[in-house]
Amino acid sequence: MRTEQPKVIHLKDYQVPDYLIDETHLTFELYEDRTLVHAQLVMRRNPEAGAGLPPLQLHGQDLELMSLSLNDRALGLGDYQVAEESLTLQPDTASFTLDSTVVIHPESNTALEGLYKSGKMFCTQCEAEGFRKITYYLDRPDVMSTFTTTVSADKQAYPILLSNGNPIASGEEEDGRHWATWEDPFKKPAYLFALVAGDLWCVEDSFTTMSGRDVALRIYVEPENIDKCQHAMDSLKKSMKWDEEAYGREYDLDIFMIVAVNDFNMGAMENKGLNIFNSSAVLARAETATDAAHQRVEAIVAHEYFHNWSGNRVTCRDWFQLSLKEGFTVFRDSQFSADMNSPTVKRVEDVSYLRTHQFAEDAGPMAHSVRPESFIEISNFYTLTVYEKGAEVVRMIQTLLGEEGFRKGSDLYFERHDGQAVTVDDFVKAMEDANGADLTQFKRWYSQAGTPRLAVSERYDAAAKTYSLTFRQSCPPTPGQSEKLPFVIPVSLGLLDGQGREIPLRLQDEDAAVGTTRVLAVEQAEQTFTFVEVPEQPLPSLLRGFSAPVKLEFPYSRDQLMFLMQHDSDGFNRWEAGQQLSVQVLQEMIGQHQRGEALQLDQRLVTALRSLLEDERLDPAMVAEMLSLPSEAYLTEISEVADVDAIHAARDFARQGIATALFDLFWKRYQANREVSRQTPYVAEASHFARRALQNIALSYLMLSGKSEVVAACVEQFDQADNMTERLTALAVLVNSNFETERQQALDAFAEHFKDNPLVMDQWFSVQAGNTQPGGLERVQHLMQHPAFTLKNPNKVRALIGAFANQNLVNFHRADGAGYRFLADQVIVLNKLNPQIASRLLAPLTRWRKYDAARQGLMKAELERILAAGELSSDVYEVVSKSLA
């Protein structure tokens, strides 16, 4: 807990460390009521830091120091100073060995940072600054050391003892205890340290690397989960192979381990050779995890594995460079997922997510650049901007340099910086050097926050057969950045003729046409490109594949959007045209609702969706994506002032209208797909995901009809399905329906059947938290009393409270402010228990500027109440104070 005024840390103040740590030797003695940590650090003066021997200041937090010695000489009280977050002493030689012993209390660590207990097992989470809660250290990523780690514990309770690297020794002690020693030969920063002790079972496999080395692969879980590891293991092997093929990256240790823990603040952590995962990101089998969960497991296993190179072998110099590893690694895992599944579906999902959530962050009080300039609490900067927008920035580099040029750049980056802690500039420099490119202006994507707008206008000259596109870019002000300079915006585009055919693209000053899709780099505030030999007025297909994270504005008519939906050769843009059509139609209805008029659904949307459903040759996954109307959260993001009730009413009315008009088609496709599902055993593979996606979205529309044969089909699917994807959708649509008896029966049966599976119970909580019918808050408050709920488990908090505040917008934003008050109450409690979770949970309140004056007042009042509650963690303090500034 913060007792002093929080310090702001600035990128511009970065200085190299005064001292380095070459070797770290740790011994942990784990007991039920305390843990002893002995650290021996082999240190020396950093030659790059200048002359003389300045005082050595080590980081440390919540440590009880038992003994300290320098070069084997015990230090007394006068020899060092201990403060709340540091220990300072004066070395007398340039090279020295420092030994310390501290006592820590993992058994009462509810923040889940440092060493803590999850259920009966010990585990660690050190990124970003958790290692300082384990021992006194230079806890910064540019201090890299080899580690040996010995763990001792009671053998019966903790038969498995793990740390980074390779196991080198183990043994028994007389008192029922045992020990194991691990050695990690690769230098690493302390944030990549990991330790696990517990009664774990493992699934074992192996992988032969491209140079022919055998690597043992192990996934450790609690015994009851041993049957849910195969999908993660398959994903791991695919990831290892893919990284060799796509990036030439080979694994480097003899063993790679994943451990699943139930209590974890994030998705997973890439500790060297010993990844620690939220169990929700490892465990998956048909009966208990949805298709989406299977894909999430595959993506996160890949993400953490890819960090072995983009993060571990080449790491960050300081935490302002976080996107160096996270943006790049998200980009890598998105390429992998696209290769393993459907590239267009993956792109649609990523873009929807970015535009709904990252754009909202970019427009809010916590907006920051991909490389932030300052922070109070680094944990608050593991954001959509650093991760998802960071990945888009890397993607734009690839778009500008081409796939081959990008690969040359990444090869040079890994070769040049292996074993180093580097910056975003080093990454971009490698890309430049490998390609002879100049990315100076492009780098503004790393330093300027906010989502650029790109307004496009066209002019066709029939006589000259020229077609000009004029691009005007601007970027709204964000905190601390009122003026923005032009970005380099890669715009991938094509031109369609009246028959929907692609027109060859030849720019003025070119000798011949160059393809039918090309990338224009818009670099100026206003810039015009003219195409020649354009035989007729074309329809532009702009920003294909979403080639830049901007808000594109082009005055498409609804008929033009319908034309693009049918004819665009770019699959992403066909979806995008459908989204824009839906947005236009929904915005019109939102206006009608606000004026008190009767809602009218533009039948062109129905016509467009009908032709999708009729065409059985289309990819069912894309049809399902196109049938999904823009979410309420996205409609909120694109509103000037979001009218929660109008958005909800308009979207509901449109869904009802579509359901009625297309009932027969939905019913036909539903029954056909459900029949295949009945006949085919579950497979976690793209074509099966696609079939179930269409089947399930059809069911959700069909249930709006209230027809008894549909309800019967839904109950049948709920009862008989052999997989969670079908069962959970059936449950969700029943929960959101008026069929009281069926709903209650399904909820009870589900809870009874899955009461011992916490991850499945999370889904049960989420489905109910998302029920948009009146009374949502009371239902959530009631569910908090359920024996399976606890505020101490982050997954539970996210599943119930997080889902309510982020997905059930009509209930969360109810006009009397009770939803806001409820959320603030939970934040105040969690601030003491788990600051990282508290700070994340409060994000919806920070978006107050989006709402009407009355709601703004109520939301701000709750932020002020949190601030006044006092004893705020730096995590919560930073977000609340910046939101009120």
- Among residues 330 and 830, whose Cβ is nearest to Zn ion? 330
Binding piece for ligand ARG, criterion CB under 6 A, among 9-17, 101-109, 264-272, 670-678 = 264-272
The Cα 195–Cα 259 span in angstroms is 10
Binding piece for ligand ARG, criterion CB under 6 A, among 245-253, 261-269, 634-642, 818-826 = 261-269
- Number of residues in the chain: 885
Q: Exposure of 441 by Cβ count < 10 A (0-12 exposed, 13-18 middle, 19+ buried)? A: middle
The Cα 153–Cα 172 span in angstroms is 10
- Of 165, 259, 167, 255, the closest CA to residue 209 belongs to 255
Any contact of residue 382 with ligand ARG (CB under 6 A)? yes
Closest contact distance (angstroms) between CB of 394 and ligand ARG is 15
* Among ligand ARG, Zn ion, none, partner that 28 touches (CB below 5 to 8 angstroms by kind): none
Closest contact distance (angstroms) between CB of 384 and ligand ARG is 12
Any contact of residue 637 with ligand ARG (CB under 6 A)? no
Cβ-based neighbours of 6, under 8 Å, separated by 6 or more: 376, 377, 874, 877, 878
* Among Zn ion, ligand ARG, none, partner that 127 touches (CB below 5 to 8 angstroms by kind): ligand ARG
* Among ligand ARG, Zn ion, none, partner that 354 touches (CB below 5 to 8 angstroms by kind): none
Closest contact distance (angstroms) between CB of 656 and ligand ARG is 40
- Among residues 178 and 395, whose Cβ is nearest to Zn ion? 395
Write down the catalytic residue from 113, 129, 304, 392. Answer: 304
Binding piece for ligand ARG, criterion CB under 6 A, among 266-274, 481-489, 627-635, 757-765 = 266-274
Any contact of residue 192 with ligand ARG (CB under 6 A)? no
- Of 526, 519, 517, the closest CA to residue 548 belongs to 519
Any contact of residue 270 with ligand ARG (CB under 6 A)? yes
Q: What is the DSSP string of 182-216?
A: EEEEEEE-GGG--EEEES-EEEEEEEE-TTS-EEE
Closest contact distance (angstroms) between CB of 328 and Zn ion is 9
Tokens of 106: 């993992």
- Of 128, 421, 424, the closest CA to residue 266 belongs to 128
* Among Zn ion, ligand ARG, none, partner that 184 touches (CB below 5 to 8 angstroms by kind): none
* Among Zn ion, ligand ARG, none, partner that 362 touches (CB below 5 to 8 angstroms by kind): none
**Which residue of this chain has its Cβ atom nearest to ligand ARG in the complex?**
382
User: Which single residue is written with the structure tokens 């002020």?
Assistant: 864
Any contact of residue 127 with ligand ARG (CB under 6 A)? yes
Binding piece for ligand ARG, criterion CB under 6 A, among 217-225, 267-275, 603-611, 676-684 = 267-275
Any contact of residue 376 with ligand ARG (CB under 6 A)? no
- Among residues 229 and 266, whose Cβ is nearest to ligand ARG? 266
- Among residues 326 and 637, whose Cβ is nearest to ligand ARG? 326
Closest contact distance (angstroms) between CB of 109 and ligand ARG is 14
Any contact of residue 862 with ligand ARG (CB under 6 A)? no
Closest contact distance (angstroms) between CB of 277 and ligand ARG is 10
Backbone angles phi, psi at 685, to 5 degrees: -150, 155
The Cα 575–Cα 572 span in angstroms is 5
**172: how many CB neighbours lie within 10 A of its CB?**
10
Any contact of residue 875 with ligand ARG (CB under 6 A)? no
Number of residues that bind ligand ARG (CB under 6 A): 11
Cβ-based neighbours of 270, under 8 Å, separated by 6 or more: 192, 303, 304, 305, 307, 308, 311, 312
Residue 854: cis peptide before it, omega within 30 degrees of 0: no
Any contact of residue 621 with ligand ARG (CB under 6 A)? no
- Among residues 326 and 349, whose Cβ is nearest to Zn ion? 326
Choosing from 39, 104, 128, 650, the residue that interacts with ligand ARG (CB under 6 A) is 128
Helix (H, G, I), strand (E, B) or coil at 625: helix
- Buried residues in 507-530 as b, exposed as e (16+ CB within 10 A): eeeeeeeeebbbebbbeeeebebb
Closest contact distance (angstroms) between CB of 874 and ligand ARG is 12
- Among residues 307 and 669, whose Cβ is nearest to ligand ARG? 307
Closest contact distance (angstroms) between CB of 379 and ligand ARG is 4
Tokens of 866: 């949190």
Choosing from 56, 266, 376, 621, the residue that interacts with ligand ARG (CB under 6 A) is 266
- Among residues 129 and 222, whose Cβ is nearest to ligand ARG? 129
- Among residues 116 and 277, whose Cβ is nearest to Zn ion? 277
Near Zn ion in 286-345, by CB under 5 A: 326, 329
Tokens of 697: 């979205």
Tokens of 502: 């692609």
Any contact of residue 268 with ligand ARG (CB under 6 A)? yes
Any contact of residue 297 with ligand ARG (CB under 6 A)? no
Binding piece for ligand ARG, criterion CB under 6 A, among 38-46, 265-273, 403-411, 718-726 = 265-273
User: 214 and 181 in contact (C-beta within 8 Å)?
Assistant: no
Closest contact distance (angstroms) between CB of 606 and Zn ion is 42
Any contact of residue 318 with ligand ARG (CB under 6 A)? no
Cβ-based neighbours of 485, under 8 Å, separated by 6 or more: 444, 448
Measured in whole angstroms, the distance separating CA 54 from the mean position of its chain's CA atoms is: 41
Closest contact distance (angstroms) between CB of 679 and Zn ion is 40
Helix spans in 374-521 (H): 384, 390-417, 424-435, 444-447
Binding piece for ligand ARG, criterion CB under 6 A, among 263-271, 753-761, 779-787, 822-830 = 263-271
- Of 454, 461, 475, 480, the closest CA to residue 365 belongs to 480
- Among residues 266 and 505, whose Cβ is nearest to ligand ARG? 266
- Among residues 192 and 577, whose Cβ is nearest to ligand ARG? 192
Cβ-based neighbours of 276, under 8 Å, separated by 6 or more: 123, 124, 125, 194, 196, 258, 259, 261, 264, 268, 269
- Among residues 267 and 476, whose Cβ is nearest to Zn ion? 267
Closest contact distance (angstroms) between CB of 276 and Zn ion is 13
β-partners of residue 96 are: 43
Choosing from 163, 225, 379, 592, the residue that interacts with ligand ARG (CB under 6 A) is 379
Choosing from 269, 348, 431, 590, the residue that interacts with ligand ARG (CB under 6 A) is 269
β-partners of residue 216 are: 206, 255
Choosing from 18, 326, 362, 643, the residue that interacts with ligand ARG (CB under 6 A) is 326
The Cα 620–Cα 626 span in angstroms is 10
Any contact of residue 304 with ligand ARG (CB under 6 A)? yes
- Among residues 79 and 353, whose Cβ is nearest to ligand ARG? 353
User: 64 and 104 in contact (C-beta within 8 Å)?
Assistant: yes
**523 given a catalytic annotation:** no
Measured in whole angstroms, the distance separating CA 372 from the mean position of its chain's CA atoms is: 18
Binding piece for ligand ARG, criterion CB under 6 A, among 58-66, 134-142, 262-270, 783-791 = 262-270
Closest contact distance (angstroms) between CB of 378 and ligand ARG is 7
Kindly give the interhelix angle for 663-679 and 644-661, rounded to the nearest 10 degrees: 80
Q: Please, what is the Cα angle at 616 between 614 and 622, to 5 degrees?
A: 95
Helix (H, G, I), strand (E, B) or coil at 171: strand
User: Which single residue is written with the structure tokens 């032009």?
Assistant: 486
Closest contact distance (angstroms) between CB of 333 and Zn ion is 8
Q: Which residues are catalytic?
A: 304
Using CB under 6 A as the criterion, which residues of the chain lie in contact with ligand ARG when the complex forms? 127-128, 266, 268-270, 303-304, 326, 379, 382
Using CB under 5 A as the criterion, which residues of the chain lie in contact with Zn ion when the complex forms? 326, 329
